[in-house]
Amino acid sequence: MTHRIYAASVLLILHFVLSSAQIQQAPGSPQIPAIFAFGDSLIDSGNNNYLASAAKSDYWPYGCDFSHGPTGRFSNGKTIVDLLGEKVGIPDLPAFADPATVGPIILQGVNYASAGAGILDETGRHWGDRISLSQQVINFESTLDGLKSIIGASNISHYLARSVAIMSFGSNDYINNYLMPSVYDSSYKYRPPEFANILLDRYTYQLLDSDIPSVCIRTNFKLGLRKFFIVGVGPVGCIPNQRAGGQAPPGRCADSVNQILGPYNEGLRSLVAQLNANHPAAIFVYANAYGFLGDILNNPAYFGFTVLDRACCGLGPVTCLPNTMPCGERNQYVFWDAYHPTEAVNSILAHRAFTGPPSDCYPINFQQLALI
């Protein structure tokens, strides 16, 4: 009951906040000062380019539809972070690991995401180097030092209070950990609900109560960052990598894999409700990635897609093979490579995240989060 009262109160306040913001918003001006993106290959903008990792996408055909070509994005074009940034007037975020990401370029945000990264530090180790959630949080701390030197320590609290943190973790903890029993022992040690609880406990630890500087402790309560857009895990059992692994019958998703994800996604949504109830100075949003992509897969013709079970650029040993010719009708493919959606899908996901109802984004959507 408390959670429902809280959500209703938030939406009532938003009615007035949004009306005022829409009137006062100058045409073309950013709706928020910055976006800080934490996550994995779904939103990596090039951090793995600078790592000793097998999980890289800094070569063609990656970026074949992106204005800057191959940048390290695991897509033919833009990621959901790029597209959400466009909607609020924020340019493409620079990768933290890029030596050029210093000075004024960091003022509108930084991308810390890393392909292969997970909530757990050990996730993705078979790919080589990657920047886990815990290390991404530490990297954010160094960005704060740079921001203070530019805008001044006295201004940092107000700046961060209006900025948004996007967090997209969990997929690799399943794909590149729990579902790889030949490499990791997690599936032998834990049943799916137990593993989900481990992930959620670790996520909460990083958000709220760690011994190392954490996103919330250092920025929400001490410095002022209070807007968090937390993305759930999509239907992993439907990606080409899992369909080809013998888990799924022809033309079907691996239902057994998707069922494993339920406790995590349900737990993450409950965690968001709990965080909102316990920390009224902040706002946490759960994005239902499973529902977003599930709707596309269940009704592809409505969204304009014809190919659901194959990758547009083919199946390489890790991702796309260098310099291979991708499919011609990329807007009709759901998946770009064995793991990641096409830009066409990302555009739909971004639209749902930006304008969706509480069944898509709980308790509010990205647009409302930006303007509150």
Q: What is the pLDDT of residues 243-282, one digit of tens each?
A: 886 667 888 999 999 999 999 999 999 999 999 998 888 9
Q: Provide the domain count of the chain.
A: 1
pLDDT at 309 over 70: yes
Within its chain, how far is the Cα of 329 from the centroid? 26
Looking at residue 267, its pLDDT comes to 97
pLDDT confidence tier of residue 6, bands split at 50, 70 and 90: very low
CATH code where residue 131 lies: 3.40.50
40 is catalytic: no
Q: Over the range 310-323, which residues count as b (16 or more CB within 10 Å of their CB) and which as e?
A: ebbbbeeebbbeee
The predicted structure's pLDDT at residue 157: 85
Q: Which residue has the tokens 């180097």?
A: 129
Answer yes or no: 75 catalytic: no
Q: Name the token pair of 352.
A: 């749902």
Looking at residue 5, its pLDDT comes to 39
Of 99-113, 175-189, 210-224, 316-330, the range with the lowest mean pLDDT is: 210-224
From the candidates 92, 132, 340, 360, which is the catalytic residue? 340
**pLDDT at position 343 over 60:** yes
**What was the pLDDT predicted at 346?**
98
Choose among 324, 286, 289, 330: nearest CA to 307.
330
* Residue 296 forms part of a structural domain: no
Tell me which of 40, 41, 57, 98 is the catalytic residue.
41
Tell the residue number behind the tokens 């990302």, with chain if given: 346
Query: Is 333 a domain residue?
Result: no
Position 10 pLDDT exceeds 60: no
Whether residue 317 lies inside any domain: the answer is no
Stated pTM of the model: 0.90
- Region 8-29: what's the mean pLDDT? 40
Residue 301 pLDDT > 60: yes
Model pLDDT, residue 315: 64
Q: How confident is the model at residue 226 (pLDDT cuts 50, 70, 90)?
A: confident
pLDDT tens, 47-106?
A: 999 999 999 999 999 999 999 999 999 999 999 999 999 999 999 999 999 999 999 999
- Report if residue 316 sits inside a domain: no
Q: 87-100, pLDDT tens digit by residue?
A: 999 999 999 999 99
pLDDT, mean over the chain: 88
Specify if 324 maps to a domain.
no
Q: What is the pLDDT of residue 220?
A: 35
Q: Is residue 65 part of a domain?
A: yes
- 31 vs 185, which has greater pLDDT? 185
Residue 3 among the catalytic residues: no
Looking at the domain assignment, is residue 323 inside a domain? no
Candidate list 40, 65, 173, 337, residue with the active-site label: 337
CA-wise closest residue to 176 among 115, 247, 134:
115
Q: CA angle 356-296-72, nearest 5°?
A: 85
pLDDT, average across residues 181-206: 95
Task: Name the band, by pLDDT with cuts 50, 70 and 90, for residue 27.
Answer: very low
Which uninterrupted H or E stretch holds 71?
Answer: none
Residue 18's pLDDT is 38
Q: What digits encode the pLDDT tens for the residues 142-155?
A: 999 999 999 998 89
Domain that holds residue 88: 2-287+343-371
- Mean pLDDT, residues 178-197 taken together: 98
Task: Give the lowest-confidence range in 87-96, 178-187, 214-223, 276-285.
Answer: 214-223
| Partners of 164 in beta bridges | 35
- Range in 229-233, 273-277, 318-322 with the lowest mean pLDDT: 318-322
Closest CA to 228 of 46, 92, 38: 38
327 belongs to a structural domain? no
The pLDDT score that the predictor gives to residue 318 is 59
